[in-house]
Amino acid sequence: MKGNEAIAEAAIRCGADGYFGYPITPQSEVMEKLMELQPWNSTGMVVLQAESETASINMLYGGAGCGKRVMTSSSSPGISLMQEGLSYMAGAELPCLVVNVVRGGPGLGTIQPSQSDYFQSVKGGGHGDYKLIVLAPASVQEMADFVELGFDLAFKYRNPAMILSDGMIGQMMEKVELKPQQKRWTDEEVAQMHPWATTGKPESRDYNIITSVELDSEAHEKFNHRLQVKYRELEEKEVRFETTDVDDADYLIVAYGSSARISAAAIEILREKGIKVGLLRPITLYPFPTKEIQRLGAKMKGILSVEMSSGQMVEDVRLAVEGKVKVEHFGRYGGVVHSPDEVAEALEQKLIGG
Amino acid sequence: MKEEIIIAGFGGQGVLSMGKILAYSGVMQGQEVTWMPSYGPEMRGGTANVTVVLSDNRISSPILHAFDTAIILNQQSMDKFEPLVKPGGLLLYDPNGITRHPERDDINIYKIEAAEEAAQLKSAKTFNMIVLGAFLKVKPVVEMENVLKGLKKSLPERHHHLIPMNEKAIQRGGEIVKEVTLVKA
């Protein structure tokens, strides 16, 4: 099945309560598949085509405020429209899942795959000091698996989570194993697990208020401190990555999502030539595997950061190694996907010379 | 076993569905598969192509720069993909509408008169299955039993009555595919 379809299947099966979205290429299959599967008849999950992306994200605000597992999906221009809502949700500490099947920008750009929304996703695309939990799937299987993982992390940390995919992973078909159907949370379970949620006020507690406004600066600084504590905890506990062929490697490629798949093929080409290259694939882009890149990087003659952008993640790779190792960037962009031989050639030219 | 295939032609020729049936057949045979389409406005009347990889092992890149097999169904695709067949690889094409025939002498070239045959069978929609049959005759990367399972899996149930006709087309493709010997000038 397609990556986009895997998102839809996994959403129903993990017991999501609602999907609110607005169609845009290359991710329209998410809502199409949900509409086809009609989960409102089976699990009771709501699937709604909103009037805009702005409406979608604010529907998520409402659903999440009630402690429901709610999600949306879109592609780059649509995700830009959601930034205000995402900032508000981070500020109100609301969990939700947003899937971005990235296409080339800026502006309306192209409908072809890209990875140029890295900065927007990991540095906070809206205003204020906040972070999204960002997961980067590199296969259709991970598109399915990360839906549940995204919800779990979002609720554990009361923070919006994002699956940062791209048109390639969204449109391609691969084998995928889906998990069995899980039940949606009952109202009692929500009230018990998420005491912050607005589930109706019992006598036993005070009002729950979901808001991101605090006009007292001192109090707001305290609130921001609390957010920072949460982000430090995420950085401590939730970093996920995968390494391949790094033990004997002289050079390292750092790449996520579809670029990691393409780089793995490039590494096969390079190793046939006798050039020992390993791959570090960040699975969480925030929190970023800084420590592991620093540790592995120290043993390398050079690092190539590969992404379908003009060079965004490369900045975080450079920060990780603190100038101790040469770090170069390679990537085609604007909707062009680099091929394995282009990546292999770039590594030879930029890190080895000649 | 690893077979990297590009299928390229016009939108509407059944390029993507041929790839899908091939991919599902691989799944039925227990192989790892990827199916990566070109998508977007270029599909409407323009060129369409799909990359299918079948492998016994985990597949790294679904995007490739060289192919074991190119199945080519129009001139634009011939111009684009003939140079990308690996030396020793296979180029299979339907000469219908081709103005410049393949010229490489370091690859194996086969032709399949699928458009003509589909017209004779009075079923234009079996065109892509005739091509698939030709490919599987030259490179039997998936067993016929699994191809039929793949066909069943990728067709919605309301179209299952069409399976015998498609099966026949696959067989016919295998019968009429011809090796092309280049005559050196």
Per-residue pLDDT reduced to its tens digit, A280-297: 999 999 999 999 999 999
A345 and chain B in contact, CB less than 8 A: no
Give me the sign of the Cα torsion angle A123, A330, A107, A32. Answer: negative
Is A168 an interface residue toward B (CB < 8 Å)? yes
Residue B184 in domain: no
Q: Torsions phi, psi of A158, nearest 5?
A: 45, 60
pLDDT in the model for residue B12 = 85
Mean pLDDT (chain B) is 92
Q: Cβ B63–A340 below 8 Å, yes or no?
A: yes
Fold type of domain A241-352: Rossmann fold (3.40.50)
Task: Point out the residue among A26, A111, A337 whose CB comes nearest to the CB of B63.
Answer: A337
Q: What per-residue confidence (pLDDT) applies to A262? A: 97
What pLDDT does B123 receive?
A: 87
The verdict on residue B6 lying in a domain is yes
Backbone angles phi, psi at B21, to 5 degrees: -65, -40
Give domain limits for chain A: 3-171, 241-352
CA distance A230 to A251: 34
Q: How many CB atoms lie within 10 A of CB A117?
A: 24
Q: Residue A84 and residue A124: Cα distance in Å, rounded?
A: 11
pLDDT attached to residue B40: 65
- Residues of chain A with C-beta less than 8 angstroms from the C-beta of B20: 173
Would you say residue B185 lies in a domain?
Answer: no
pLDDT recorded at residue B45: 66
* Confidence band for B44, pLDDT divided at 50, 70 and 90: low
Element (H, E) at B174: helix B163-176
pLDDT in tens, B47-74: 899 999 999 999 999 999 999 999 999 9
Please indicate, yes or no, if residue B114 is contained in any of the structural domains.
yes
Q: Which CATH number goes with the domain that contains B125? A: 3.40.920.10
Q: Is residue B32 part of a domain?
A: yes
- Assign B142 a pLDDT band (cuts: 50, 70, 90): very high
What is the rounded distance in angstroms from the CA atom of residue A135 to the CA atom of residue A68? 20
Number of domains in chain B: 1
Are A211 and A43 in contact by the 8 Å Cβ rule? The answer is no
Residues belonging to chain B with any Cβ–Cβ distance to chain A shorter than 8 Å: 20, 23, 27, 32-37, 39-41, 59-66
What is the rounded distance in angstroms from the CA atom of residue B46 to the CA atom of residue B12? 9
- CB contact (8 A) between residue B36 and residue A264: no
Q: Is residue B92 part of a domain?
A: yes
CATH dotted code for A3-171: 3.40.50.970
Residues of A in contact with B39 (CB under 8 A): 25-26, 111, 167, 171
Placement of tokens 């085509």 in the chain: A49
| CA A150 remoteness from chain centre | 8
Token digits for B11?
């939108």
Q: How many residues belong to chain B? A: 185
The pLDDT value given to residue A124? 84
What per-residue confidence (pLDDT) applies to B182? 76
Before A287, cis peptide (omega within 30)? Answer: yes
Contacts of B60 in chain A (CB under 8 A): 261-262, 264-265, 267-268, 340
pLDDT band at residue B181 using 50, 70 and 90 as cut-offs: confident
pLDDT at B112: 96
Confidence of residue B96 (pLDDT cuts 50, 70, 90): very high
**Helices assigned H by DSSP within chain A:** 3-13, 29-37, 39-42, 53-65, 76-81, 83-91, 118-122, 140-157, 167-171, 187-193, 217-237, 257-272, 290-297, 313-321, 340-347
pLDDT tens-digit map of A169-189: 999 999 999 999 999 999 999
Bridge-based pairing of strands A241-244 and A96-102 is: unpaired
Helix (H, G, I), strand (E, B) or coil at A285: strand
**How large a percentage of chain A has pLDDT more than 90?**
98
Q: How confident is the model at residue B38 (pLDDT cuts 50, 70, 90)?
A: confident
Distance between CA atoms of A159 and A238, rounded to whole angstroms? Answer: 13
Complex-level ipTM? 0.90
* Domain of residue B47, residue span: 2-179
Among candidates B36, B64, B65 on the partner chain, residue whose Cβ is nearest the Cβ of A168: B36
B46 assigned to some structural domain? yes
**pLDDT digits (tens), chain A, 354 positions:** 999 999 999 999 999 999 999 999 999 999 999 999 999 999 999 999 999 999 999 999 999 999 999 999 999 999 999 999 999 999 999 999 999 999 999 999 999 999 999 999 999 899 999 999 999 999 999 999 999 999 999 999 999 999 999 999 999 999 999 999 999 999 999 999 999 999 999 898 899 999 999 999 999 999 999 999 999 999 999 999 999 999 999 999 999 999 999 999 999 999 999 999 999 999 999 999 999 999 999 999 999 999 999 999 999 999 999 999 999 999 999 999 999 999 999 999 999 985
> Using CB atoms, which residue from B33, B37, B60 is nearest to A175?
B33
Residues 6+ apart with CB under 8 A from A111: A25, A26, A75, A103, A167, A335, B39, B40, B41
pLDDT at A54: 98
Contacts of B34 in chain A (CB under 8 A): 172-174
Please check whether residue B97 lies inside any domain of the structure.
Answer: yes
Whether residue B39 and residue A264 make contact (CB cut-off 8 A), yes or no, is: no
